[in-house]
Amino acid sequence: MIISDDDNKKSSPNLGSSNIKKIQNDKAGKAKVEKSKDLEAVSNEFDETYEKTIRPKTFDEYIGQSNLKETLKISIEASKRRNVPLDHLLFYGPPGLGKTTLANIIANECGVNIKITSAPALERPRDIIGILMSLKGGEILFIDEIHRLNKVAEEILYPAMEDFFIDLTTGKSQTVKTMRVPVQKFTLVGATTKAGALSGPLRDRFGIVHRLEFYTAEELKEIVKRSARILNTEIDEEGAMEIALRSRATPRIANRLIKRAGDYALVKSDGKITKEIANLALNNLNIDSLGLDNTDRALLKLIIEKYNGGPVGVETLAVALGEDIRTIEDVYEPYLLQSGLLMRTLRGRTVTKQAYEHLGYKAPGHLNNGQMGLFD
């Protein structure tokens, strides 16, 4: 049940697939699943190898999230001086912002091993028990999508997190016996795209809870330049900025776009990513000037054309788009909300004036400074 790594993969439109889809596939029927898994495994393996090559290994290499980095550096130093394991940490925020990367950096900076798994892989009690008992002193356990942990696994985790023991039960009904078994002191790093979906008792057991923020264009530009350097891809300042601006404020997407733009530059030009080449490559992928892909635009257009700009419920949107609700909420919406194109209201989703304008529609009068226009 220890999987390779990485959180929910939204990615550039044509790349990557989400874990959510994989799990649905698992339930869909064996033969079909095996086949699609093979294909997915190949592309995921490629993505993972590529991502691992350029993934920063130390805080010095890691660009952005400066507040979080400072907090972590202090906590790590303090835990070293006290000679105790680092407090349990919870990272939350949209996919692709670096939760797994940070967990790996923490392990590296602490000089300890990390074991990486994800909540859906901890289905049976023995899965979580097995991992907890395999941990050596000071090691880090990274659980991705931790909000999806089942109740039984959570209950097993509580005493392990708090007092480093687990209660093992043997026998049935009247003969049931509980044995208290110690586990080595460890640090749990939990990652989630949905902090709100975590149970209160679980959330309360993390000493440090931190939200990962979207990256600024300048930060992403630095990330793009660094990754291009590692990949031996030539890129100029403007080319790096163009990719940064169209990466949905997300490093994972920026890194994938460099790869695509690098391929494009190699085949169509002299291999160097300039602004023009980046522009052509990204247009070719249907990624627009704000980094939106076909699904983002389809979602906004649907609200504009079929629901007069909203409000409309996410369930309705999911059905119309053929996506699941979780993918819309966790993968598509955060950036649309952040970039001011979409709003969440009590009655559902509405688009903003900027969304109308970005997609080339005339915004209705009530969206213009809240005043009705003459002809509305």
**Residue 7 appears among annotated catalytic residues:** no
Q: Give the whole-angstrom CA distance, residue 117 versus residue 120.
A: 9
Query: To the nearest whole angstrom, how small is the minimum distance from the Cβ of residue 144 to ligand ADE?
Result: 16
Residue least distant from ligand ADE (Cβ)? 251
Query: To the nearest whole angstrom, how small is the minimum distance from the Cβ of residue 215 to ligand ADE?
Result: 7
User: In terms of CB distance, is 15 or 166 closer to ligand ADE?
Assistant: 15
Handedness of CA 297, 300, 303, 306 (dihedral sign): negative
**Residue 177 appears among annotated catalytic residues:** no
User: In terms of CB distance, is 99 or 148 closer to ligand ADE?
Assistant: 99
Query: To the nearest whole angstrom, how small is the minimum distance from the Cβ of residue 333 to ligand ADE?
Result: 22
Catalytic-role residue among 9, 99, 248, 260: 99
**Residue 205 appears among annotated catalytic residues:** no
Give the interface with ligand ADE as residue ranges (CB under 6 A). Answer: 54-56, 61-64, 98, 101, 223, 226, 251, 255
Catalytic-role residue among 5, 47, 100, 352: 100
Catalytic-role residue among 55, 226, 252, 256: 252
User: In terms of CB distance, is 63 or 156 closer to ligand ADE?
Assistant: 63
Query: To the nearest whole angstrom, how small is the minimum distance from the Cβ of residue 253 to ligand ADE?
Result: 10
**Residue 100 appears among annotated catalytic residues:** yes
- For 61, which DSSP code? T
Residue 259: exposed, middle, or buried by beta-carbon count in 10 A (0-12, 13-18, 19+)? buried
Alpha helices per DSSP H over the chain:
19-28, 30-54, 66-82, 99-110, 125-134, 151-163, 200-204, 217-230, 237-245, 251-268, 275-284, 294-307, 314-321, 325-327, 333-338, 353-358
Residue 191: exposed, middle, or buried by beta-carbon count in 10 A (0-12, 13-18, 19+)? buried
User: In terms of CB distance, is 223 or 304 closer to ligand ADE?
Assistant: 223
Catalytic-role residue among 117, 187, 193, 327: 193
Evaluate the omega torsion of the peptide bond into residue 251 and state whether it is cis, within 30 degrees of 0: no
**Residue 101 appears among annotated catalytic residues:** no
Annotated active-site positions, please?
A: 99-100, 144, 193, 252
